[in-house]
Structure formats: structure tokens, C-alpha cells
Amino acid sequence: MTPNTIKVALIGNPNVGKTSVFNQLTGLNQQVGNYPGITVDKKTGICKINQITRAKIIDLPGTYSLNANSIDENVVIELLLNKNDEDFPDVAVVVTEVENLKRNLLLFTQIKDLEIPTLLVINMSDRMKQKGIELDIPLLEKALKTKIALISSRKNIGIDKIKELILNYKSLSKEACLNASSIDEEYFNRLRKAFPNQLLYKLWLVITQDVNFLNLERNEIENNFTRSHTELKKLQQKETIKRYQFINDTLKVTQKIDKSKATDFQSKLDNILTHKVFGYLIFFGILLLIFQSIFDWSSIPMDFIDTSFSKFSAYTKENLPSGKFTDLLSDGIIPGIGGIVIFIPQIAFLFLFISVLEESGYMSRVVFLMDKIMRRFGLSGKSIVPLISGTACAIPAIMSARNIENWKERLITILITPFITCSARLPVYAILISLIIPEKRFLGFSLQGLTLMALYLMAFFVAIGSAYILNKLLKLKCKSYFVVEMPSYKVPMFKNVALNVLEKTKAFVTGAGKIILAISIVLWFLGSHGSANFDNAEKIIAEKHEKPLTEEMRQNKINAYKLENSYIGMMGKTIEPVIKPLGYDWKIGIAVVSSFAAREVFVGTLATIYSVGSQSEEEATIKMKMAEDIDENGNKIFNFATGISLLLFYAFAMQCVSTLAIVKKETNSWKWPLIQLVFMSGFAYVVALIAYQTLK
Ligand code: GDP
């Protein structure tokens, strides 16, 4: 790092607009990584302060205090206590917001006591007038011994002030707000004597938190200074009370609130949105709207992508010299990339909706609303976030279960999340639904959209049902409490939503995309090479048919014969007896098997298989080729029974190695992912079997 880079830690309570401030400071210069050993996202960004100075900004997870309750919160305290950490900040920027200043300042006073240069950002200044809030900033700066930037990240006001304060961080006072010994004089005097060179408040945090620093003293601390858990808790409470006394006294003279201005629009809205009946109806309505739009809106770009890639593939085939490389390009790589790109509209729309719901403050109401129901199934209201994020991808969803404090509730949430319909299933559903469900409308809703919604709901109910069973089966005792904050309703900020959509889509393309492309290439190879029969296909067909065939029929026969005798055809044939009862032929078998690496491979695989063994025109889309496919008796392969059976199989089977890997990581054992794999796939097989046998 160059000498002109200032290291900045961005800290704050959840919902104060920390992400918005981070986005304003860093724009697109952001990077998302991981803290070593744990799965908490580590967001960093570079901010240009002036011509020669840069700031490296670390966006730390939102936390209410330094009394850590979760892994996320631990990250904050571990960084701030560890001077040797490469990211140890030169300056801490604590973000707060005008409406909840009192609560937000608790964290500020704690950070200040670590004697790191700390500056205070008070966000959402645009709401002051409406809420009748006035602040005496110079007096507040004096009382808190800091510099303050009063800003509105929404209106882009005051961001330069933050930069200026960061630039001049050396002039910030390092003085503490609270004299730590006042928590318990006698105890702290002893501590001071034993460790004259250590900061008292730091020692206090090391004693009360389970953090791994100051290792040298750890033993000594444990021998001489530990107190019973209840005693420590009492002292922590005393600390909190002292801090609030200080904050109250300070705000009394620096803040004026005109109570008459406090509109009750917010609470009226809450009454409706968290209402016992309407609350659920509205939530259900919103979900319906979301799924309808995902299906309707993304079909246009998706059709366009599908046709473009088929055209491009045909174009390369016609215009490049024929040979292995051209085959690889037009039958392997191009359809493979197409299979990734085609997801982008749906993923982007889904994240657009999720982040709008989060940004507007509505998601917290949903969490609150759902808690009552979720509890009965051994889940927490907070499980709704993983369950909803699971509609995008189980991987980030399972990671987001970290917010659930209770281990049993968290484990159950992790185990059931893969049932939720993820975006990788969406293209599978989309293509199958469009093959077997007519394009009609029912009460104004598209029948295809309703089928999609039914699949989502079914997955949700199976997930909840499994949670209920797991709750009865798992013998784990954990105490549980539930805190959810109701941030005020706000119009979502475009920049936040856009960056979130961009980040999630990028993560999908670079993460899952690589696997899909690799598998497409492997599949192309397996599909275009094979046994001796494969190589001699032309001769064999010629010998078989004594009567001369038309050129087109001859080519079709050769292609079909080649596919059957390729490596992939042989693999598909091997498993055919197992999947036949489900209504699948060997071609579908290949797609199902390769989907165990990742579901989204299904469409790509069929695309590759149907390109390799194409019997129709080059430019036909994959969907057209699938719709035309018939078995030896002339019946459609993708008929209603097979389609439903496949939909159900994909709804329930655990076909995603990445999810298994993340579950292993989050539960720290192979036991749970293995149980998931066996149980979910077994269940999928049985359900698909019953469906096909009843419907055929
Ligand atoms: P975080 O949880 O602290 O990262 O907060 P976010 O950045 O996600 O913001 C929480 C909510 O506050 C979102 O709905 C933002 O649109 C909103 N918000 C952020 N900054 C401002 C601001 O300056 N003024 C107003 N009125 N709303 C803001």
C-alpha cells in the first residue's frame, strides 16, 4: 500500500445508510471478498480523496454494539482490537442517522473508547425538516470530542465533507468518551495494575468477548480476572446504562425535536402491512406480482438471447472452415455461453425486486410478520430472508442464515433452504412449462405464470414441512430471542439497488458460469466422440438401408445414430432403466445426471445434445428442437406426464455441488450435506415416479 492511502473502517448500526455512504464514496471501485476462515462478506472499496490521496474503505458488517452476538459482529471487534491486522484502520468512520441518533451513538462511544481516531457521520439529514429535528453540530462535536459530517447520502450532500475529515484524520481527538474504570472501580484498578501498558477498555472487551487477541495476557486474565458469566453480564449492562446516560445528557443540549411534526403515517402503514390478515394478503399479492413480472418481462430478452445464440452458432458453422475446432465453437462453446447469458434477465429482475423490498424497509415488516408462523416450524422470523434469497441462489441464502442467533433455528434454515426454488431451476421450469402448459390466460393471469407460482409455493410448503419434522427430530437445546428493527419506510435509492443487482449478477456469471461452460465443453466432447460404431455411422447407415434415402433423411439417420453411439449416449443408455419409470429417455437422463453438478446445466446440456444430434434446421431454437423430439413410436418425448415428472424432480432433488460445499462449510461437517443429498434426491425420485405413473 502506498503511503498516501488512508485505511478507513466504515462502522454503524444496521439501516443507518452505511451501504449508501459506502456506495457514494467508492462508486464502482468495490470488491467483495471473504474474511479468512468464515463466510462473512468482506467489502472493500477505494475512494479518491484528492489528487494524491486514496482511502481504502472497509465496509464492516452492521452491528448495534461491540458486545458481539453473531459472527458478523465479531468481525468488527476482531478488526478493531488487532493492531497487527493489515486492515487495522487509521480512522474509524461511524455512520449514524438523524432519527435514531440516541441508539446509534452507543456504538460510537464504544469505538471512541478504543482510542482510534473516530469521526462521526450523521446521515439522512434530508429527513430533519420533515421530522422537526434540529442539531447543534459544533456543540455535539465538542461533547463527543470528534468531528461530524452531517450528510444525506440520498441527496449526495456532505460526501465531500467526509472525505475532508478523512484526509485530516490526524487532527481528530483520540480521547475516550467514557472512563472505563467507572464501570467498576475496584476491578478496573486491579486490571490497570496488572497490565499497565494496555488500554483498559480494550482489556474489558477481551474479558467479556470471546476474541483471540492479546494472547499473551489471556492466561493471566483468565486466572485472575474472570468473573462468573452473570457478573460479567451485569457489568456489561452497567456499561450500557452509563453510556446511555452520557448520550442522553449530550443530546438534551444538542438536539431539539418538534414532537408535533412526528407524523403517524408510518404507524398507520405499519398497521396495515403487519395486519393479521391484510399483512399476509399483501405479502402474497406482492409475491404474485413479482413472479408474474419475472416471467413476463424476462421472456423478451430471453427469447432474444436464445435466438441470437442459435443464429450465431449456425453462422460460425457455415462460415468457418469445417473441422473439430468449428464444431467445438458452434456446438460446445457458443451454446454453453448462451446457457449462462440466458439467466441474466431473470436473476437481475429477481434481485431488483428483493433489493427494492429491502431498501424500502418492507422486508423488516415481512420478517416480523413471519416470525409468528415460522416459530411453529422451528424457524425464526429471520429465516424468511434466507428463504426469500433462496429464490435467487441457495448459496448466498445459506450464508445469510448467519444472522440467526439460535443454532438450531439456523441449522434447520440451512437444511431446508435448498428446497426453495432457486434461479437455476427457473430456466428448467421455463422451458418445460412452455413445452407442456398452453399459452392461455385464466382470470387474466397467464396459465404459465400460475404454474410457475404453484411450483414456488409447493417448494416453500415442502421446505416448511421439512422444517417441522426436523424441529421434532433434532435434539438441540438453544435459547432463542428475536429482535427485529423496523426502519422507517423510504423510497429505494437507485444507486444501491443498481449496485446490488450488478454485484449479484456478476457473482452468478463468474461463479456458476464457469461450471456451466466447462460442463458444456465436456458434454460436447462426449457427444461428438464415441465407440467404433460412432465413427462408422455413415457406412452402417448406408448398409442398413438398401433403398436409397433422400439426402436429408440420410443425414438425420446418421446424426441420430451417432448421438446414440457417442460416449454420452452410452452413459444415458446405461442409466435408462433407472429413469424410465419416471418417463425419461436417455437424452433426458444425460441432462439429469449432468445437472447434479449444477441444475442450470440442464438447459445447456439439452442445448448441446440437441445441437449435436440436430435433426431440424440449424437455426431452430432449442425449445423447437425439444418440442419436435419423438420416441420410436412417434410419441412426443416432452409430453405432459414427463414434463410434470421432470418439474417435480428438479423441484426437490439436491442437484448442486456448490450448495453442498457451502453447507459443509457453514455446518462444519459432511454429515448435513450428505443427509441433504440423500434425502432430497430420494424424495424427488419417489415424487416424480408417482407423478409420472399416475399421469401417463
Ligand atoms: P445499511 O443497512 O446501513 O447499509 O443501510 P442502507 O444503505 O441499505 O440504507 C438503508 C435505507 O436508508 C435504504 O432504504 C436507503 O435508501 C435509505 N437511505 C440511505 N441514505 C439515506 C439518506 O441520506 N436519506 C434518506 N432519506 N434515506 C436514506
Question: Is a pLDDT exceeding 70 seen at residue 210?
Answer: no
Q: Is the CB of 14 under 6 A from ligand 1?
A: yes
Q: Is the CB of 20 under 6 A from ligand 1?
A: yes
Query: Using an 8 Å Cβ cutoff, are 392 and 350 in contact?
Result: yes
How buried is 488 (Cβ within 10 angstroms: 0-12 exposed, 13-18 middle, 19+ buried)?
middle
Question: Is a pLDDT exceeding 90 seen at residue 505?
Answer: no
pLDDT tens track for 223-247: 666 667 777 778 888 888 889 999 9
Neighbours of 106 (CB within 10 A): 20
User: Looking at ligand 1, which atom is closest to the CA of residue 16?
Assistant: 3
Q: What are phi and psi of 115, to 5 degrees?
A: 60, 40
Considering only CA atoms, which of 689, 686, 612, 684 is closest in space to residue 651?
684
Considering only CA atoms, which of 351, 354, 352, 359 is closest in space to residue 490?
359
Q: Percent of the chain, pLDDT > 70?
A: 88
pLDDT tens track for 285-329: 887 787 677 667 877 898 898 889 889 988 998 899 888 888 888
- The alpha carbon of 402 and the centre of ligand 1 are apart by a number of angstroms equal to 22
- The alpha carbon of 104 and the centre of ligand 1 are apart by a number of angstroms equal to 14
Q: Is the CB of 492 under 6 A from ligand 1?
A: yes
Query: Using an 8 Å Cβ cutoff, are 92 and 120 in contact?
Result: no
Domain boundary among the residues 124, 149, 171 is at 171
- The alpha carbon of 32 and the centre of ligand 1 are apart by a number of angstroms equal to 20
- The alpha carbon of 486 and the centre of ligand 1 are apart by a number of angstroms equal to 13
Distance CA 38, CA 585 (A): 43
Distance CA 527, CA 358 (A): 45
**Beta bridge partners of residue 95, listed in sequence order:** 12, 121
120 is a domain residue: yes
DSSP three-state, residue 38: coil
pLDDT tens track for 99-152: 889 999 999 999 999 889 999 999 999 989 888 899 999 999 999 999 999 999
Considering only CA atoms, which of 463, 285, 464, 462 is closest in space to residue 374?
464
The CATH code of the domain that includes 80 is 3.40.50.300
Cα 548 → chain centroid: 59
Q: Is the CB of 493 under 6 A from ligand 1?
A: yes
- The alpha carbon of 337 and the centre of ligand 1 are apart by a number of angstroms equal to 37
Cα atoms found within 13 Å of the Cα of residue 28, Cβ hemisphere only: 4
Q: Side chain identity at 605, as an amino acid letter?
A: T
- The alpha carbon of 97 and the centre of ligand 1 are apart by a number of angstroms equal to 9
519 is a domain residue: yes
402 is a domain residue: no
364 is a domain residue: no
pLDDT tens track for 627-671: 777 777 778 878 899 999 999 999 999 987 778 877 887 787 889
Model confidence, pTM: 0.65
Question: Residue 303: in which H helix or E strand, if any?
Answer: helix 278-319
Distance CA 332, CA 525 (A): 8
Closest residue by Cα to atom 14, ligand 1, is 359
Q: Is the CB of 124 under 6 A from ligand 1?
A: yes
DSSP three-state, residue 390: coil
265 is a domain residue: no
User: Looking at ligand 1, which atom is closest to the CA of residue 95?
Assistant: 3
User: Looking at ligand 1, which atom is closest to the CA of residue 151?
Assistant: 23
Q: How many domains does the chain have?
A: 2
Contacts from 440-444 at CB under 8 Å and sequence distance 24+? none
Mean of pLDDT values over 399-414: 83
Question: Is a pLDDT exceeding 70 seen at residue 220?
Answer: no
Residue 516 binned pLDDT confidence (cut-offs 50, 70, 90): low
344 is a domain residue: no
Considering only CA atoms, which of 336, 307, 294, 630 is closest in space to residue 429?
294
- The pLDDT score that the predictor gives to residue 213 is 56
Distance CA 93, CA 59 (A): 10
- The pLDDT score that the predictor gives to residue 214 is 54
Question: Residue 587: in which H helix or E strand, if any?
Answer: helix 586-594
Closest residue by Cα to atom 13, ligand 1, is 359
Neighbours of 696 (CB within 10 A): 12
- The alpha carbon of 15 and the centre of ligand 1 are apart by a number of angstroms equal to 6
220 is a domain residue: no
Q: Side chain identity at 530, as an amino acid letter?
A: G
Q: Side chain identity at 443, as an amino acid letter?
A: L
Domain boundary among the residues 144, 171, 198 is at 171
- The alpha carbon of 16 and the centre of ligand 1 are apart by a number of angstroms equal to 6
Q: Is the CB of 17 under 6 A from ligand 1?
A: yes
Closest residue by Cα to atom 20, ligand 1, is 17
DSSP three-state, residue 475: coil
Closest residue by Cα to atom 12, ligand 1, is 17
Q: Is the CB of 359 under 6 A from ligand 1?
A: yes
Distance CA 617, CA 625 (A): 9
Closest residue by Cα to atom 17, ligand 1, is 17
Burial 597-630 (b: 16+ CB within 10 A, else e): bbbbbbbbbbbbbbbbbbbeeeebbbbebbbebe
Which range of residues forms the domain containing residue 526? 514-695
Residue 174 binned pLDDT confidence (cut-offs 50, 70, 90): confident
Q: Is the CB of 127 under 6 A from ligand 1?
A: yes
Cα 534 → chain centroid: 45
Question: Is a pLDDT exceeding 70 seen at residue 217?
Answer: no
pLDDT tens track for 322-333: 888 888 888 888
Considering only CA atoms, which of 181, 145, 363 is closest in space to residue 273?
363
Query: Using an 8 Å Cβ cutoff, are 379 and 409 in contact?
Result: yes
User: What percentage of the chain's residues is helix, strand, coil (to nearest 5)?
Assistant: 65, 10, 25
- The pLDDT score that the predictor gives to residue 515 is 67
Mean of pLDDT values over 475-500: 76
- The alpha carbon of 152 and the centre of ligand 1 are apart by a number of angstroms equal to 9
- The pLDDT score that the predictor gives to residue 263 is 63
User: Looking at ligand 1, which atom is closest to the CA of residue 153?
Assistant: 23
Query: Using an 8 Å Cβ cutoff, are 247 and 109 in contact?
Result: yes
Assigned C-alpha cell, 495? 444507486
- The pLDDT score that the predictor gives to residue 40 is 63
First to last CA, the chain: 67
Q: Is the CB of 606 under 6 A from ligand 1?
A: no
Domain boundary among the residues 113, 143, 171 is at 171
Rounded to 10°, the helix 537-544/551-565 angle is 120
Query: Using an 8 Å Cβ cutoff, are 380 and 401 in contact?
Result: no
User: Looking at ligand 1, which atom is closest to the CA of residue 23?
Assistant: 7
44 is a domain residue: yes
Contacts from 636-639 at CB under 8 Å and sequence distance 24+? 637/585, 637/587, 637/588, 638/432, 638/435, 638/436, 639/436, 639/583
Testing ligand 1's pocket by substitution, the residue of 26, 490, 494 carrying the most ligand atoms inside 8 A of its CB is 490
- Give me the chain's average pLDDT, please: 83
Q: Is the CB of 131 under 6 A from ligand 1?
A: no
Q: Is the CB of 132 under 6 A from ligand 1?
A: no
Residue 541 binned pLDDT confidence (cut-offs 50, 70, 90): confident
pLDDT tens track for 26-57: 987 777 766 665 556 778 999 999 889 999 99
